[in-house]
């Protein structure tokens, strides 16, 4: 064997050994402190046979579990509430979260999924580099077969992205990097006094959230226009529905609260109404339910300080109203046609 070949082999072995050592040394710490894993553990601690609330940061901010529980209990529905909403996690990661919950032996009685117009429609397959931050949970919670949900043409036409996904999910590097990124970002904000220069909430600067409202609006409008009335549910939502049903759970999809200007431009648009009518019918065919909570009676735009997330008072009011409207659906799901 030539010297250069020998050195290459030694270097390759050293890199692999180094990655393995890093994974062993830091993997457990990363998994234990990773926010999605913490959220999952707390949801599992709520008990078995619970009502699981699911969604992105809008549901994470909007659900006050004790208030929701009390609102349901006050109307004769005695269910534990397990909040499993995780910020920045799309339907793919949300489906994995429920799957992981069920695999850990915590079958829900109901799954209440918070969504907004268009977020349950077909999504483009992500580049593996996008599975960072909270989305690193999609690596930590993935299963080998998920590669074909992300990249249906793998290995023929999507070999590169599929191979990179396969490598990323095989170790804790992305999870640890995401944990360290969050800690580094917090330290950077303190060192630069960023938190005193611009209003913040626990999801970031209010100016960033305002920009995100525009992104939600643009994405929803684009999806509705691209569908042209021919809507198709995302394959990850189909997985969520299947695993929920297999576990004996029923599914309720709710349209999450949004600012009045967003509702006028998206939810109440002609395309938005067509989408909502289609989604109701699609859910009904599988015995599931839709509940429009985009404009709750109990909150106003002032409760959405950053344009997206409910403040604590708004979350209590929303959770109480949601409990009131969910209770008759949970008691008599077959006889109620939600609005």
- Distance (Å) of CA 219 to CA 121, 124, 130, 248, 257: 11, 12, 17, 33, 17
Residue 102, number of CB atoms within 10 A of its CB: 19
What is the pLDDT averaged over residues 204-212?
A: 79
In this prediction, residue 176 carries a pLDDT of 66
The pLDDT tens digits for 247-275 are 999 999 999 999 999 999 999 999 999 99
pLDDT of the residue at 191: 63
| pLDDT at site 206 | 76
Task: Find, among 128, 150, 140, the residue nearest to 170 by Cα.
Answer: 140
Share of the chain above pLDDT 70, in %: 83
What pLDDT was estimated at residue 31? Answer: 64
Cross-strand pairs, 121: 233
Residue 136 to residue 143: CA distance in whole angstroms: 13
Q: pLDDT digits over 141-192, tens only?
A: 999 999 999 999 999 999 999 999 998 888 777 776 666 656 656 655 666 6
Show contacts of 73-77: CB within 8 Å, 24+ apart: 74/323, 75/323, 75/324, 75/327, 75/328, 75/331, 76/327, 76/331, 77/326, 77/327, 77/330, 77/331
Average pLDDT over residues 50-54: 98
- pLDDT number for residue 134: 87
3-33 helix and 173-191 helix, angle to the nearest 10 degrees: 70
d(CA 223, CA 231) in angstroms, rounded, equals 9
Q: For residues 143 and 337, give the distance between their C-alpha atoms in angstroms, rounded to a whole number.
A: 36
* pLDDT score recorded for residue 334: 63
Annotation: CATH topology of 49-121+202-334: Rossmann fold (3.40.50)
Max CA separation in the chain (angstroms): 78
Choice among 90-94, 124-128, 200-204, 290-294 with the minimum mean pLDDT: 200-204
Kindly report the pTM of this predicted structure: 0.87
Average pLDDT of span 313-329 = 97
Contacts of 318 (CB under 8 A, 6+ apart): 62, 63, 64, 257, 293, 296, 298, 299, 303, 310
Boundaries of every domain in the chain: 1-33+126-197, 49-121+202-334
Average pLDDT over residues 73-80: 96
Averaged pLDDT for residues 102-124: 96
Per-residue pLDDT for 337 more than 50? no
Which helix (H) or strand (E) covers residue 47, if one does? none
Confidence of residue 339 (pLDDT cuts 50, 70, 90): very low
Helix (H) / strand (E) containing 251: strand 250-255
Cβ-based burial of 268 (10 A; exposed 0-12, middle 13-18, buried ≥19):
middle
Tell me what the pLDDT averaged over the chain comes to: 87
Instruction: Indicate the burial class of 23 (C-beta count within 10 angstroms; 0-12, 13-18, 19 or more).
Output: middle
pLDDT digits (tens, 9 = 90+) for 127-154: 998 988 889 899 989 999 999 999 999 9
For 95, half-sphere exposure in the C-beta direction (CA atoms, 13 angstrom radius) is 20
What average pLDDT does the segment 113-131 reach?
A: 94
Least confident of 23-32, 206-215, 291-300, 317-326: 23-32
How high is the pLDDT of residue 192? 62
CB within 8 A of 326, min separation 6: which ones? 51, 72, 77, 112, 252, 291
Inter-residue contact 236 to 149 (CB < 8 Å): yes
Give dist(CA 253, CA 26) in Å, integer: 38
Q: How far apart are CA 113 and CA 104, in angstroms?
A: 20
pLDDT of residue 186: 62
Whether the predicted pLDDT of 119 surpasses 80: yes
pLDDT of residue 290: 97
Asked if pLDDT for residue 338 goes beyond 50, the answer is: no
What backbone torsions phi and psi does residue 53 show, to the nearest 5 degrees? -100, 135
Q: What is the DSSP-derived secondary structure letter of residue 192?
A: T
The arithmetic mean of pLDDT across residues 321-332, rounded, is 94
Give the percent of the chain with pLDDT over 90: 68
- 141 Cα distance to chain centroid: 13
Q: Is 219 exposed, middle or buried (0-12, 13-18, 19+ CB in 10 A)?
A: middle
Which residue from 197, 182, 209 is spatially nearest to 310, judged by alpha carbons? 209
């Amino acid at each position: 064997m030539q010297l250069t070949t020998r050195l290459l082999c030694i270097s390759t072995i050293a890199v692999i050994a180094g990655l393995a050592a890093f994974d062993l040394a830091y993997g457990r710490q990363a998994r234990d402190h990773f926010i999605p894993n913490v959220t999952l553990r707390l949801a599992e601690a709520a008990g078995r046979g619970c009502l699981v609330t699911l969604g992105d940061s809008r549901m994470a901010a909007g659900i006050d579990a004790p208030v929701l529980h009390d609102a349901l209990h006050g109307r004769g529905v005695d269910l534990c509430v397990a909040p499993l909403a995780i910020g920045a996690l799309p339907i793919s990661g949300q489906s994995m979260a429920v799957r992981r919950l069920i695999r850990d032996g915590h079958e829900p009685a109901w799954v209440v999924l918070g969504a907004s117009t268009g977020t349950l429609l077909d999504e483009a397959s992500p580049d593996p580099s996008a599975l960072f931050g909270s989305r690193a949970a999609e690596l930590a919670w993935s299963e080998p077969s998920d590669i074909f949900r992300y990249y249906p043409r793998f290995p023929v036409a999507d070999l590169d992205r599929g191979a990179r996904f396969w490598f990323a999910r095989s170790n804790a590097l992305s999870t640890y990097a995401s944990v360290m990124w969050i800690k580094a970002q917090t330290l950077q904000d303190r060192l630069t006094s960023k938190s005193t220069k611009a209003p913040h909430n626990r999801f970031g600067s209010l100016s960033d959230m305002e920009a995100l409202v525009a992104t939600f609006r643009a994405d929803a409008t684009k999806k509705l226009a691209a569908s042209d009335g021919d809507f198709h549910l995302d394959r990850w939502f189909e997985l969520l529905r299947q695993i929920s049903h297999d576990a004996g759970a029923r599914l309720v999809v709710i349209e999450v609260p949004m600012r009045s200007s967003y509702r006028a431009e998206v939810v109440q648009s002609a395309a938005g109404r067509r989408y909502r009518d289609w989604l109701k019918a699609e859910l009904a065919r599988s015995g599931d339910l839709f509940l429009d909570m985009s404009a709750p009676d109990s909150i106003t735009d002032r409760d959405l300080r950053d344009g997206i997330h409910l403040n604590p008072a708004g979350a209590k009011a929303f959770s109480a109203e949601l409990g009131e409207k969910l209770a008759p659906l949970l008691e008599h799901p077959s006889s109620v046609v939600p609005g």
